[in-house]
Amino acid sequence: MNKKRTASGEPPAAGFHPAAVHPEGGRTPESRHAAGSRRSGKELALDGKILEKIKSLRLSGEAEKLAEKFLRDEEVQAMQEYANSVSIVRLKYNDHGPVHMRTVAYNAIIMMDLIRKAGVKTSLESEESGGFEDSLGAVLSGALLHDLGMAIGRQDHELHSAYLAYPILDRIIREVYGMNYQKIAVIRSLALEAISGHMGNRSIYSLEAGIVQIADGCDMKKGRARIPLALAGSPRMGDIHQYSANSIEELTIEQGAEKPISIRVDMSSEVGLFQVEEVLLNKIAAGTAKSYVELYAVLNGGKPKRYL
């Protein structure tokens, strides 16, 4: 079976200064500002993977065009970078920036492909409000903007994300869909549901929003937590998230044996079970895609523990 893996951040260069640290290749928010908004190597690699994956689905080209516009938009990039600066430098939290949002988009596209291959209809398809490609467009738009609200703060960030995302979402969707007001209405609303519902703390109703929620929970590899761990001074509430994520070696999304999607989390320490049980499992259980997912945790290559 062809395994599809997620991406995550790399460790910072040795000798970095904590105040200047940034999860994409050690580049600082300040140096990015001075250099203009250039994408890091990791961001560009993810852009390539996202566009290649959408192309492989052989759709009409609309979703690919939408993805290209979001990935190349300077305002989106600046907002993703500032959200990350607040998350890491101010809040001492983990990556909520351009690499994370691209990783979530990539995870979500993989899952959308798997449910389509299994013959599962998206909410738009089953409601006859749109096609698979419209669902995909909403999913990738929502994923690429879902954490913009971290620029304001952690509390209720999913709601801050929604109003920060709205003007960009509206502008880019109109660039792609022109005067097709039906598609604009559908994709914009669905993307906003995915953004405002991604934390699993409020009800969502579409399968598309459920996919984004799970895709977000799947970005838990240790690269995402390493920089906040390196920055950590004295112990504080929430450290369990960083320490547990630091033991996640690999996360694999592929076709399941019984259900369309299998998520396997490989870890080097039992503390990683916190990520699976308290973060990912809760998100899956709260969402609309639960019945399509198998979830496994594997400790040091041992016998897989099945949750779903």
Residues that bind Fe ion (CB under 5 A): 147, 216
Q: How far is the CB of 270 from Fe ion (least distance, A)?
A: 25
Kindly state the smallest distance separating residue 96's Cβ from Fe ion, in Å: 6
Burial class (CB in 10 A: 0-12, 13-18, 19+), 209: buried
Say which residues have a Cβ less than 8 Å from residue 173's Cβ, sequence separation at least 6: 66, 137, 141, 183, 184, 187, 188
Least separation in angstroms between CB 95 and Fe ion: 9
Residue placing its CB nearer to Fe ion in the complex, 54 or 220: 220
In the complex, what is the shortest distance from the CB of residue 80 to Fe ion, in angstroms, rounded to a whole number? 11
Whose tokens are 């994409």? That residue is: 24
Do the beta carbons of residue 204 and residue 225 sit within 8 Å?
A: no
Query: Smaller CB distance to Fe ion: residue 186 or 293?
Result: 293
User: To the nearest whole angstrom, how small is the minimum distance from the Cβ of residue 145 to Fe ion?
Assistant: 10
Distance CA 90, CA 151 (A): 10
Q: What radius of gyration do the chain's Cα atoms show?
A: 18
| Nearer Cβ to Fe ion (124/148) | 148
Query: Which residue number, 71 or 186, has a Cβ lying nearer to Fe ion?
Result: 71
Give the shortest CB-215-to-Fe ion separation in angstroms. Answer: 9
- Judge whether 275 and 249 are in contact, CB under 8 Å: no
H or E segment to which residue 298 belongs: strand 293-299
Closer to Fe ion at the Cβ: 143 or 186? 143
Q: What's the distance, CA 129 to chain centroid?
A: 25
Q: Which helix (H) or strand (E) holds 172?
A: helix 157-177
Cβ atoms within 10 Å of 140's Cβ, excluding its own: 30
Helix (H) or strand (E) holding 246: none
Query: Hey, what are 267's tokens?
Result: 């870890």
- Name which of 24 and 147 has its Cβ closer to Fe ion: 147
- The nearer residue to Fe ion, 40 or 84, going by C-beta atoms, is 84
DSSP-derived secondary structure for 95-128 = --SHHHHHHHHHHHHHHHHHHHHTTPPPHHHHHT
Q: How far is the CB of 165 from Fe ion (least distance, A)?
A: 13
